[in-house]
Amino acid sequence: MAEAAVLSTGSSAPPTRRRRNWVPYALLLPGLLWLVVFFVLPMVTLASQSLQEGNVDDGYTFTGNVGIYVDALKQYWPQFVRSFLYAGTATVLALLLGYPLAYFIAQKAGRYKNLVLVLVIAPFFTSFLIRTLAWRTILSDDWFVTTWAQKLHITDLLQAVGLTANDSLLSSKFAVIMGLTYNFLPFMILPLYTSLERLDPRLIEAAGDLYASPWQTFRKVTWPLSLPGVVAGTLLTFIPAAGDFINARLLGNTQTTMIGSVIDSQFLRVLDYPLAAALSFILLIVIVTMVSVYVRRAGTEELL
Amino acid sequence: MSKQQGKGDLGLVALTKSFATFTAVHPLDLVVPQGSFFALLGPSGCGKTTTLRMIAGLEEPTSGRIRIGDSDITDTKAYQRNVNTVFQSYALFPHMSVLDNVMFGLRRRGDKDAKAKAKEVLELVQLEQVASKKPTQLSGGMQQRVALARALVNRPDVLLLDEPLGALDLKLRRQMQIELKRIQQEVGLTFIHVTHDQEEAMTMADSIAVMNAGRLEQLGDPATLYEQPRSTFVANFLGQSNLLRATVNPGGTDHVVTVRAHDTDLEVSREHLPEGVRDVWLGVRPEKLRLGEGGGPNQLRGIVRDVSFSGVATQYSVQMPWGQELIVVQQNDGTARAVLGETVTVSWAAQHGFALDASQDAEAGAELVDDHG
């Protein structure tokens, strides 16, 4: 009946239908173009770069030198391991800090919700570099944070567990991990907020009504229902943190170099493009592998 | 409350809930006998849901006590109470299967037979075949039954139902009303059913507490509430009522009193007249009115202004000489029908009338009735 009505309005109906089929593709086009120019092409260039030999002055030629990947791993595996360790620790810390905060904003903040959200995002109004430099001041030896930490023997504790080398806070593993945690915390909070915001508070009431203590309610209802946010948040924190090269350079020492810094210096200072490209590719492959295993283990597709 | 409280009866003693700007529940005293199907009926905002949430432990009373049998549960948390709720929105856990939803309460208490018990209850609500599905894969009616099963399986002292049928369509709601009643009789648990639907309350409940503006209006079994409402609110909220302004004549017999309404003397049973009141509303239900002379003194003449035929019955609107229109519902049992504009006599028996204190608003509760039930 609806069809008949459409037909009777005139011949304009069929073309409309045909045109509509084009719309999704037309809308995809700008994004696809962007990805081709700024992602696919550079990736192909990078891949071919990693298999070239030569130097900057004489130019590079493609030789298919796969051995560079083995050399890169042999030489820089400690930096790889360190990067994933730091990024993993920072991700866990960000989750521990971010989850209660996201829960509060989503479920309890009421009319202050937007204000608190703005406060979470506010640091983004200044540049990443400046924020990290600010941490140098915060953790510097003569600032109260360090002197208080010394008085409270926190520095001793950090030294005992090997996170710092002496009684200052700056230029240590501790400082790098703190910097990573701080810089990527909003990436953790926002996805967590989104998924906790969707959590129906009546489900929490229902769990309580069915004899679940507050802790059981969290474990059986709140946590599983917020898993999509946890997965998204941890990925958005872990992936950029693993490749980060600013925090390690500004807040660390020579013993805390992360793989991002190595790639950075190979590209821009040593000018060993093939090695830098190979390192980038290894980082990429390891991250993609870890992420796909993680996402599958978390079983989020069922929750979404 | 002076009433003797039984072993598993739920008792509310001067239970009150005030929010910052208003009082949702004024001191409320109520005893719900163990094993009864009890309805809390009232329009939205009358405090019935707040009362329910206080019993469940989801809302803290401002004052007053809640008892189950001899134990005072007022200060316990929701998860410590042997009380379960069927939520209006069902609040089923979307990440768990139907079976896991139903087992949730048993598991929290470490019940070893959780699975067997859950399956048994799913059978009771006829859902054993969807046990492994997720709640979102089920229809509204099925979700409703899962919510019921999830609460029932714990065999709580009191099972609370918060407008459980509100989201279902009319046909399904009728079906579930019968189903709920059957299940309640089968398991023998105390059900407290919160609803704004008077028909639903009357169909299912053994006793009904009618609430209005945070206070208990009247408590009784459905028939008593309907036949002998004690306030204009109850008279209008439970079904329709024709209310005539009248003055009680002195004297009368032990059984019957005459009242004067619009220069006509009418009779009403003495037991349906509140003590010591002179100005009254004389009420008669539309289906108690007859077209034609009934032989008794209760007769009024008027003109038919509206006729609507609904199959089972015909509803007339009969205008009295003083302008008021009386609603008359006549069963479609073969008696002659009146036509529009005809002058008719409306009559009723003395025992079918009831008198209410005239200081009340005759329209109270009438505008709140929603007819979807």
Structural domain total, chain A: 2
Whether B104 and A216 lie within 8 Å, measured CB to CB: no
Does B280 score more than 70 pLDDT?
Answer: yes
Contact yes or no for B79 and A206 at CB 8 A: no
* Cβ contacts of A123-130, under 8 Å, gap ≥ 24: A123/A186, A124/A186, A128/A183, A128/A246, A129/A246
Residues A139 and A10 in one domain: no
pLDDT (tens digit, 9 = 90+) per residue, A244-273?
Answer: 988 988 898 888 889 999 999 998 888 888
Q: What is the pLDDT of residue A300?
A: 56
B61 and B122 co-located in one domain: yes
| CATH assignment of the domain containing B283 | 2.40.50.140
pLDDT band of residue B2 (cuts 50, 70, 90) is: very low
Confidence band of B21 (pLDDT split at 50, 70, 90): confident
In a domain, A44, yes or no: yes
pLDDT digits (tens, 9 = 90+) for B349-366: 988 999 998 888 888 877
Q: Which residues of A touch B (CB under 8 A)?
A: 200, 202-203, 205-213, 216-217, 220-221, 224-225, 302-303
- pLDDT tens per residue across span A8-64: 444 444 555 555 688 888 899 999 999 999 999 999 999 998 998 888 788 888 888
Mean pLDDT throughout B337-352? Answer: 89
Considering the domain architecture, whether residues A153 and A273 belong to the same structural domain is answered as yes
For B173, phi then psi, to 5°, come to -65, -45
Same domain membership, residue B266 and residue B150: no
Q: Are A74 and A46 within one domain?
A: no
Same domain, B98 and B184: yes
- Establish if B125 belongs to a structural domain: yes
Q: Tell me the chain B residues in contact with residue A211 when contact means C-beta distances shorter than 8 Å.
A: 79-80, 105, 108-109, 154
Q: Evaluate if residue A7 carries a pLDDT over 50.
A: no
Q: Identify whether residues B195 and B49 lie together within a single domain.
A: yes
Last residue of a domain, one of B204, B226, B248: B226
Nearest to B104 among A202, A210, A303 (CB): A210
Q: What pLDDT is stored for residue A256 in this prediction?
A: 86
Q: B58 vs A208: CB contact, 8 Å cut-off?
A: yes
Residue B233: inside a domain: no
Contacts of A207 in chain B (CB under 8 A): 93, 104
Q: Tell me, yes or no, whether A149 and A33 share the same domain.
A: no
Whether B1 is in a domain gets the answer no
**Residues B229-276: pLDDT tens digits?**
999 999 999 888 999 999 988 877 878 888 888 888 898 988 888 888
% of chain B residues with pLDDT over 90: 57
Inside any domain, residue A94 = yes
- Write down which residue in B171, B200, B226 finishes a domain: B226
B145, B44: one domain = yes
Q: Average pLDDT of B148-163? A: 92
- The last residue of one of the domains, among B193, B226, B259, is B226
Q: Tokens 């490209």 sit at which residue? A: A277
Query: Residue A60 domain-assigned?
Result: no
Query: Residue A3 pLDDT more than 70?
Result: no
Q: Which of B85, B93, B151 lies at the smallest CB-CB distance from A221?
A: B93
Contact B237, B369 (CB under 8 A): yes
Q: How many helical (H) and strand (E) elements, i.e. helices and strands, does chain B have?
A: 8, 20
State percent of chain A over pLDDT 70: 91
Q: Domain residues for B74?
A: 10-226
Same structural domain, B337 and B266: yes
Confidence of residue A176 (pLDDT cuts 50, 70, 90): very high
User: How many independent structural domains does chain B possess?
Assistant: 2
Return the H-helix or E-strand segment holding B192: strand B190-195
Question: Is residue B191 a part of any domain in this protein?
Answer: yes
- Note the pLDDT of residue B256: 87
pLDDT of residue A109: 85
Q: What is the pLDDT of residue A58?
A: 83
CA distances in angstroms from B306 to B34, B285, B337, listed in the order given: 47, 18, 12
Contact A200 B89 (CB under 8 A): yes
Separation CA B326–CA B310 (nearest Å): 18
What is the domain-level CATH number for residue B200? 3.40.50.300
What span, in angstroms and rounded, lies between the C-alpha atoms of A282 and A81? 12
- pLDDT higher than threshold 70 for residue B373: no
> Is the residue at A57 inside a domain?
no
Q: Which residues in chain B have their CB less than 8 angstroms from residue A202's CB?
A: 87, 89, 91
**DSSP strand pairing (B343-347 vs B353-357):** unpaired
pLDDT of residue B4: 47
Whether A117 and A198 map to the same domain: the answer is yes
pLDDT in tens, A21-36: 888 888 999 999 999 9
Whether residue A59 is contained in a domain is answered as no
Is residue A99 in a domain?
yes
Query: What local confidence, expressed as pLDDT, does residue B362 receive?
Result: 80
pLDDT of residue A192: 95
Please tell me whether residues A160 and A26 are part of one structural domain.
no
> Does residue B231 sit within a domain?
no
Distance, CA of B261 to CA of B266 (rounded, Å): 7
Same domain, B222 and B244: no
Tell whether A32 and A76 lie within a shared domain.
Answer: no
**Does residue B370 surpass a pLDDT of 60?**
no
| B273 and B132 share one domain | no
Position A147 in a domain? yes
What range does the domain containing A46 cover? Answer: 2-50
In a domain, A202, yes or no: yes
Query: B81 and B215 share a domain?
Result: yes
- Contact assignment for A207 to B56 by CB distance below 8 Å: no
* CATH number of the domain enclosing A140: 1.10.3720.10
Tokens of A298: 């978390």
Residue A18: per-residue pLDDT? 56
A153 with A297, same domain: the answer is: yes
